[in-house]
Structure 1
């Protein structure tokens, strides 16, 4: 009976995880049919600028969430030292509650500061960037400013609440973490659909996003029961010391996040600045559909995470090669077939939906699809590299992001259009990242040789 109960719980956890992953990649697509039908072309473009700005959440996190989760996991296992994981009866399953309370306070204060900084940045951008675009597109600026302020508040709240999944993951509450994500992402999509059907426009969409964050926080309060959330430490120096220990490891992922934002999100701002909201809407819709395909195509590799790590620990090069090949082949099958479907069907789908915004022209869509498939391919290989506890692409990611930003802006200044923006990203990534990380993986997984596997290199300290 106990085994049956455990099996039911495990399946329930997998089901919640599957729903959370689907909503992570598909919540925007759920809104797409109503967004393109209920909003004007200019409002569609403006909404996707909102969504692109939301990408700053990952930048604002700066890699702290997974790093804090690892620290919580260590403390939850009884650890008392981050420098020496063997100290403090690790593995006894007796949480070090005083240190955990201090860590929770540190995490909440950290994210409060990050959220405040992000809100101030977005609020300023609303005055100096969004409003002129709205005015140029013939939109009333007062409703746009209201929508932007609400959306900025919701985005900042979302950043502040990032300490919740860090604690849930670190304390082993995986199903609760996925439930929290379902509330946030699923709530945003469901409430957004209701807002659009009620004629709420941009203000309704933004309010739905804000309400979803609040609902997720209420759910998070239930999921976090048992953790010393109400404890308050007076040891300010200890909190600062914890932050100094966390920051160096987090910064590596943070720099990668900045590079990713510059590569994948900045183009929306560039296109809207030079060619207006309608062009930004067409570009963003096409990009969203193709990104959804390539993101889903990476799931076969990501699902194999535990088996890849297990094979690395066992130094089973043959098994590693099989798992990597399976993930890469699965990616290409899904990404290529899905991209072809988007290119062929998107124009008919948007006509059927009576969209106010058309997709990109076919030739431009093909170039964007090729760029996104190559981007997704090297992301899959980068993921495989990280299973060896290595992050060698910090500087290349950041440099590539800066180069893409410069070239995309220059191409627009030269009048090369949206196709120039896409070419800027594609050529920059083809120059290094597209081939470097796949080559590193397959050289490492080649038939046995004298060199060790990647996991023999120095490991990143907690």
Structure 2
């Protein structure tokens, strides 16, 4: 039998705590950013954050793919498959296979990070030079160079976080998030108050990435099972074996990569597109609201991240009843947190933003449409994650096609109505609602033999029992 993995209540709580601190860094930095950055600096900072999302493009799907495969090995897999899950032959971790996958991560991520750095310093620099052409001062170039260094280091060491997710060290990842985000708030706040502009926010971002990934690395090597594996295996893995391993995970990694690109285009990419048509001040207002909504979404989907190793384990074990309970709990938590958080943003956070920055304004209708879009989008992404837990990614083409349609519709709307952000959101909704929003939910429930309403009822009952026992 495969080794059973579970997600403790403590791990779930730490997922929420980690997500809260990850997002609170943005909220807690808002007073410094709004008070100390000019309109141009504010817009440029959000452009930097948008480009940060490009890391998922350079990763090209390897992070979730490696996390899944580490979870399979941790559950007892003796070989890796390109598609689906191989039959298990024992409950113990295959040390040689684990070490081989680890070495493959190191080689691959070094190559990816170097390619990313070259592209950012060339193509990325041309883009930044274009949008800052009328800015005065040289600190913008310095800020961009530091940001490129952050991108390189964050991508190169990203595989440690993927491994920790695969071996169910969810709590450790979130502890790392808390420590690194507190550091970012402190460093950025001090530097912004010193008046060094957007460079202060960028230096805090650099420190956060370094601290998070080094903590993940240290946690990985402190794991008792990992120490046993490294004692029992040799470090000089043959290059041919590494390349064979990469070829094994490559098909689904490519699909994951295209999905990541599609998701980026369907969400954060809108800020970059809008920045080509409207002023950076308007981009700053839109991106600020988008940041708030993404914050709510991140908290809402945190439980999916906490339970993902367990979901993968239940699929390996073919434990249908337990799987349905977990999915139900995840969906009830997602719906409740997203709706509650959205109300909090509109009635509490946005008035505070307006107080801190009197020139800030945003349409209530546009906000409601954004909430609707991101609720449905993150829900479909959650079900895509459940589907991929069985090492199959049938939704890749549909996600890519929808994102292309979304980008085209956004360009058309901005061409004819350059200042109408409401039409931008309508374009995004139409692109996803025609297929992805509903189809992948139905696909998952049909594959597993569940129903949506029954699963929600089971999840709600499970939460009620948990609360009553507390």
The equivalent residue for 1:42 is: 40
- In the TM superposition, 1:236-247 aligns within 5 A as 236-247=239-250
Residue 92 in structure 1 maps to residue 71 in structure 2: no
Contact preservation (8 Å) 1:343, 1:366: no
CA distance in 2, matches of 1:411, 1:291: 23
SS in 1 for 2:132: helix
Residue 264 in structure 1 maps to residue 262 in structure 2: no
Deviation for aligned residue 1:129: 1.5
Match of 1:207 among 179, 203, 207: 203
SS in 2 for 1:233: coil
Q: Residues 324-368 of structure 1, C-alpha deviation per residue, up to 9 Å, x if partnerless?
A: 566545544443343244334444211332x27614222322322
Contact preservation (8 Å) 1:60, 1:114: yes
CA distance in 2, matches of 1:71, 1:301: 17
CA distance in 1, matches of 2:130, 2:313: 50
Contact preservation (8 Å) 2:101, 2:245: yes
- In the TM superposition, 1:154-303 aligns within 5 A as 154-171=150-167, 173-225=169-221, 226=227, 228=230, 232-233=235-236, 235-299=238-302
Residue 343 in structure 1 maps to residue 346 in structure 2: yes
Deviation for aligned residue 1:264: 0.4
The equivalent residue for 1:412 is: 414
Deviation for aligned residue 1:420: 2.6
Residue 110 in structure 1 maps to residue 115 in structure 2: no
Contact preservation (8 Å) 1:27, 1:185: yes
SS in 2 for 1:42: helix
CA distance in 2, matches of 1:433, 1:100: 35
Residues 285 and 105 from structure 1, CA distance in 2 versus in 1: closer, same or farther, beyond 3 angstroms? Answer: same
Q: More relative contact order in 1 or in 2 (CA 8 Å, sep 6+)?
A: 2
Contact preservation (8 Å) 2:188, 2:201: yes
Computed over aligned residues only, the root mean square deviation of the Cα atoms, in angstroms, reads: 3.5
Q: Residues 136-189 of structure 1, C-alpha deviation per residue, up to 9 Å, x if partnerless?
A: 4x443x211110110111012101111212333445544433334444444334
* Range that drifts further, 223-232 or 110-119: 223-232
- In the TM superposition, 1:294-333 aligns within 5 A as 294-299=297-302, 306=310, 313-316=318-321, 320=324, 327-328=330-331, 330-333=333-336
Q: Gaps (5+ residues) in structure 2?
A: 1-7, 222-226, 454-470
CA distance in 1, matches of 2:372, 2:452: 30
Aligned pair count reads: 432
The equivalent residue for 2:139 is: 143
Contact preservation (8 Å) 2:252, 2:393: no
Residues 228 and 210 from structure 1, CA distance in 2 versus in 1: closer, same or farther, beyond 3 angstroms? Answer: farther
Contact preservation (8 Å) 2:312, 2:389: yes
* Range that drifts further, 142-151 or 13-22: 13-22
Residue 445 in structure 1 maps to residue 450 in structure 2: yes
Contact preservation (8 Å) 2:110, 2:156: yes
Deviation for aligned residue 1:303: 5.7
Deviation for aligned residue 1:42: 1.4
Residues 200 and 441 from structure 1, CA distance in 2 versus in 1: closer, same or farther, beyond 3 angstroms? Answer: same
CA distance in 1, matches of 2:60, 2:405: 20
Contact preservation (8 Å) 1:297, 1:335: yes
Residues 15 and 375 from structure 1, CA distance in 2 versus in 1: closer, same or farther, beyond 3 angstroms? Answer: closer
Q: Residues 89-125 of structure 1, C-alpha deviation per residue, up to 9 Å, x if partnerless?
A: 74335x525x544433321121111111212222224
Match of 1:393 among 392, 395, 416: 395
Q: TM-score, normalised by structure 1?
A: 0.81
